[in-house]
Chain A
Amino acid sequence: MNSAIRRLAVAAIILMLALMANSTYLQAFRADELNGRNDNRRVRDAQFSVNRGPILIGSTPIAQSKPSKDRFEYQRSYQLGPEYAPVTGYYSYLYGRSGIELNQNSQLNGSDPSLAFRRVVDVITNRRQQGASVGLTLNAKAQLAAYRGLAGKKGAVVAIEPKTGKILALVSRPSYNPNELASHDLEKTGAAWKKLNADKNKPLTNRAIKELYPPGSTFKLVTAAAALSSGRYTPETKVRSPAVLELPQTTVGLPNQNGRNCGGSDNATLTVALRESCNSAFGSVGLDLGAEALREQAEKFGFGERQLPDLGAVASRFPADPNAPQVAQSAIGQFDVQATPLQMAMVAAGIANGGDVMKPYLVQTVRTADLKTISETKPESLHQAVSSEVATQLTQMMVDVVENGTGRPARINGVQVAGKTGTAQTAPDRPPFAWFTSFAPANDPQVAVAVMIEDANVPRTDIAGGTLAAPIAKDVMEAVMGR
C-alpha cells in the first residue's frame, strides 16, 4: 500500500505545482495584458486616482487634473473644452479615452517606461505618483479664430507651420464638451454619452483628421504640381479649357462651374486655369499626365500615409485604378479622391516650404512634474513633393488666385496670401463641401491652413469655397501672424 500512497503523494505535489505554475503565468506573465484591459475596473479606478499630467498650450493647461473629494482623488477638467476637444479628446471612466488623452496616456498617467526613474524617486521620497505634462504645438489664437469661424457650421480647420510641420490649429465642429464625459457622476456621463452618440450632427467625429472628404478644386494644386514637375508645362502653358470638356469613353462631359470656358478662352494658360478654377482645363491636364503621375504627386504630398498617429488620423487616398474619364474627374478632386483637411493643409504647407513637406506633429514636449524634459519633437521632412522652382511657380499661381481669382475673400492688407478654393460636389441631395487652402505671407510663409465646410446652413447656390471658407482661413492666418 505504501508505494501507492507514495505515488499519490507525488500526484498531490504535481497538482499543487500546477496551481503554482498557473498562478505564476497569470500574475507574472499575463498581468500586463490583464491590467491593460479597458474593462478592468481596478486599473481604471487607480488611474482615475492618479494625479494625471496636464495637456499644455505654452504654459496654459487645456486639460488638467484637480483634487477631488469624491471616490476618485482627481477630477479631469478641460478649460475651453469644446474648442480643444478634437485634440485633447476625453478621459472618461465609462467610455475610455480618445485624442491626446488616449495616445499620450502612459506619459500623462506616469506609467511610461521613460518615467520609470521618476517613479522610483517618488516612491522613495514618498510622493504620490504624478504624470508628465504634454505640451502641444497649437497656437491658442489660431485655434480660437478657427473655432469661432466654424461657429454654426459643420466643418474643420487645420493650420500648420510650413517650416516645421507643427500643427497650429486643429478644430472640428460641431464639437462636444469633454468635461461631460470626464465627470465622476457616472449617470451624467452615461446620459451625455448617449446624447452625443444620438446627435445627427455627430459632434464626436473628428472631421479634421479622421474623416475623408472629396477635396474638390483644392486638389488642382496637386494636379498643377504634377504638371509643372513633368517638365512639359510651365505656368504659361496653354491647355484645352472649353466650357465642357468631352471625356473619352463616355457621353457626359466635364463642365466648368460657371458653365463658360476658361477666362474667355478655350485655351487658357495654367495660371488662368487655376485662378478661375477651371474643371475642363485641369481635366485635360489630368488626362494628359495620366493616373500614375497624379497618384505619385499626391503621395509625395502625403496621400496614402497616416499622419499624426498620436491622434489616430486616417490616410487620404487617390483612387486605385481609374479609367480615363475617372482620371479627368480625379484631377479636379472628384470621383474617388478622398482627403482629410489635414492632408490639404499639408499640400499648402509643402508648397509654402519650397516643396518640402514636413511631417506634421502635435506633441512638442513631454515634461515631468518638475519640468524636466523627457522628450522633444524635432521637425522632420516627410517628402520633397516638388522642386523649389515648381514650388515658387505654384506659389505665384496661388497668389494670383487670391489677388485676382476665386480666392479674393482671403486677401489680407499688406500681406501676400497664396490660396486655392474648392467646392466639392457629392450627392445631388446634399450640399457641396466648401474648401479653402492657403498660406501666408507668400514670400516667407508662417502658416498654411485648410478649411473644410461640410454644411453651413446656407442656400446651395451660395456655397463656394471662396465665400464660405476663405474668410475663416484669413482669420486663422492673421491670428498666427499676430495681425
Chain B
Amino acid sequence: MSIAPTSTIQIIPRSRRGVELMLLVIATAVSVAAYVSIGLAVQGNVPASTGYYAAGIGLLALIAHLALRYRAPYADPVILPCAVLLNGLGVAMIHRVDLGLKAAAEAAGREPRGPAAPQQITWTAVGIILFLVVILVVRDHRRLQALTYTAGLAGLVLLVLPLVPGLGVDINGARIWIRALGMSFQPGEFAKLCLVVFFAGYLVVKRDVLTLAGHRFLGLDLPRARDLGPILIAWGVSLGVLIFEKDLGSSLLFFGLFLFLLYVATERAGWLIIGGLLFAGGAYVASQLFGHVQKRVADWLNPFNEVGGQVANGLFGQAWGGVLGRGLGQGRPELLQFYAQSDFIISSFGEELGLTGLIAIILIYTLIVERGLRTALGCRDVFGKLLATGLAMSFALQVFVIVGGVTGLIPLTGLATPFMALGGTSLVANWAIIALLLRISDQARRPQTPAAPVSDDTIAMAVQKQ
C-alpha cells in the first residue's frame, strides 16, 4: 500500500472502543475471580452459580459497550469499565455477606433471609436498561437544557416524596425511602440527577449576572445581595432535607453540588466562601437543635461508647483486615448484619481485601471522578461543562461522605456507596449518571466537524445560548 501524501496534519480522533472492550473483559474477569474466590473460601468449591454470574455481568457490560459503539463511539473508554468493576465487586461482596448471614442464621437456628445478590443483579440489569435508554434516546445532552425547570421541579418533588404520609417510611431514623407497589425506593438518588440538570441549566442562564455584578471586599469579589437568592434557596432546601428527612448526607450532597457548580459557572471564590459559611452555620445550628445530628457526631467522636455500635463494628472489621486483608470470604463482615451489604459495604471490603483493596476501590472511584471532570474540561458547551462537572462531583462527594463516614473520618451519614451498596434505586440512578457522562464525553471527544448530523433545533439552541 502506498501512503497518500498529505499537505496538512490531520488529527484523527480515535474512538478507543477497543480499549474499552479490553478493560471490560478485565473488569468482568476480576469480578468473576472475586466471586469464585468467595465460593472457594466459604463453601470450599467453585460455586455452581459462577456461570450465571459471569454471564450476567459480562453480558450486561457487553450490551452497554455495544450501545456505545453504536451511538456514542467517542465516549470515554475508561468510565464504563470502572463502573462495571465496581458493580461486579459489589455483587460479589453482597453474595459473600449473604453466605455469612445464612451461616450465622443457621448456627443460631433461625430461618435465613433470602439472598440479596440476585436482587442486585436484577437491579444491575434495570440499570443497564436505563443506561441504554439514556444513550439511545438522549442523542445530545444539550437537549436536556430545555428541561431545566422541569428537572428542577421533578427534583423537588422527588425530594419531598418521602415526607408524604403513607408513602414515606422511616428507616434507621432517616425518612428517605418511599414504599409503593411492594417495593422500596430512595427518590433522593434520582432527585440528585434532576437537580444537577437544573443547577446546570439555571446557571448557564444566570452566570453572567452572578459573575459581573458585585463589589470587592477584602480582596474578594462578593456578589450583590439580591443575587444571593439562589444560594439561599439551595441552602434552605438542603436544610429542609436535613431537618425533615434527617438525612445529613443528602443535605451535604445537594448543597455541595450547587456550590461547586456555582463556582465553576462564575469562577468566583467568593461564592464558595459564602456557601461554606452558610453550610458551617447550618450544620452548627442543626447539631445544636437536633438529636439525630448530635448522635451522629457523638458516635463519630466516640464510636466505642455505644455497645455494639455500627461505626465501632465497621472500624473493628477494617482493623481486623489490616493492610492485606483477611482474604475474600475469610473475614466476619456479617457481624454488621445486612449493613455489611449496604451502608458498610466499604468496611466489608476493608476487612476482606484490607487497606490495599480499599485504596484500589477508592482509586477506581477517583478515576471515574477525574474522567468525568476531564469530560467537563473537553466539553464545548457551557451546559455540558456544568452538567459533567455536577455529575462527576456528585460521585466525589458521595464517595467521600459515605467512605469517610464508615472509616471514621467524618460523622456517618446514610448515603449509598455508588454501584457497590445493596439498593436498586441507587444502582439504577448511578447507571443513568454514567450514561449521561458518557453521552457528554462522546460530544466532547468527537471530531470538531460534526461526525453525525445534528438536528437543526439543537444548533439553533446552541447558537441562542452562546
Contacts and interface: CB of A to CB of B under 8 A. Distances in A.
B267 to A, nearest CB: 5
Contacts of A41: 313, 316, 332, 335
A12 B404 contact: no
- Chain B contact residues: helix, strand, loop or mixed: helix
B340 interface: no
Interface stretch (B161-169, B291-299, B393-401): B393-401
B366 A45 contact: no
Interface stretch (A18-26, A241-249, A439-447): A18-26
Interface in A4-47: 4-6, 8-9, 12-13, 15-16, 18-20, 22-24, 26-28, 30-31, 33-35, 37, 39-43, 45
Given A12-B370, A27-B323, A28-B322, A5 B264 contact: yes
Interface residues of A, number: 34
A26 B369 contact: no
A16 to B, nearest CB: 4
A19 B409 contact: yes
Interface in B257-305: 260, 263-265, 267, 304
Interface size class of B (residues with CB under 8 A): 35 or more
Interface of chain A, helix or strand or loop or mixed? helix
Contact of A15 (B264, B400, B408): B400
Contacts of A45: 332
Contacts of A23: 318, 350, 355, 358-359, 362, 407
B432 interface: no
A457 interface: no
A372 interface: no
Contacts of B107: 71
B307 interface: yes
A4 B265 CA distance: 8
A42 B332 contact: yes
A44 to B, nearest CB: 10
B323 A5 contact: no
Interface in A390-446: none
Contact of B362 (A5, A20, A27, A35): A20
B117 interface: no
Contacts of A5: 264, 373, 376-377, 385, 389
B338 interface: no
A34 B318 CA distance: 9
Contact of B400 (A16, A28, A30, A71): A16
Contacts, number: 125
B362 A22 contact: no
Interface string A51-65: 000000000000000
B414 interface: no
Contact of A1 (B355, B385, B408): B385
Contact of A8 (B313, B393, B403): B393
A1 B264 contact: yes
Nearest to B358: A23
B354 interface: yes
A34 B260 CA distance: 37
B382 interface: yes
A16 B366 contact: yes
A126 interface: no
A71 B322 CA distance: 24
A23 B335 CA distance: 20
A461 interface: no
A41 B104 CA distance: 14
A22 B396 CA distance: 16
A3 to B, nearest CB: 7
A16 B267 contact: no
B199 interface: no
B315 interface: yes
A18 to B, nearest CB: 6
A125 interface: no
Interface in B379-398: 382, 385, 389, 392-393, 396-397
B317 interface: yes
A301 B369 CA distance: 72
A405 to B, nearest CB: 59
Given A1-B264, A23-B350, 8 more contacts: A8-B373, A9-B374, A16-B400, A23-B355, A23-B359, A27-B350, A37-B316, A40-B319
22 contacts: A3-B267, A5-B376, A9-B369, A9-B370, A12-B366, A13-B366, A16-B363, A16-B396, A18-B400, A19-B362, A19-B407, A23-B350, A27-B318, A31-B322, A34-B319, A35-B316, A35-B320, A37-B304, A39-B307, A39-B312, A42-B331, A71-B107
Interface of A: 1-6, 8-9, 12-13, 15-16, 18-20, 22-24, 26-28, 30-31, 33-35, 37, 39-43, 45, 71
Interface of B: 107, 260, 263-265, 267, 304, 307, 312-313, 315-323, 331-332, 335, 350, 354-355, 358-359, 362-363, 365-366, 369-370, 373-374, 376-377, 382, 385, 389, 392-393, 396-397, 399-400, 403-404, 407-409
Closest 3 CB pairs of A and B: A34-B319, A27-B355, A31-B319
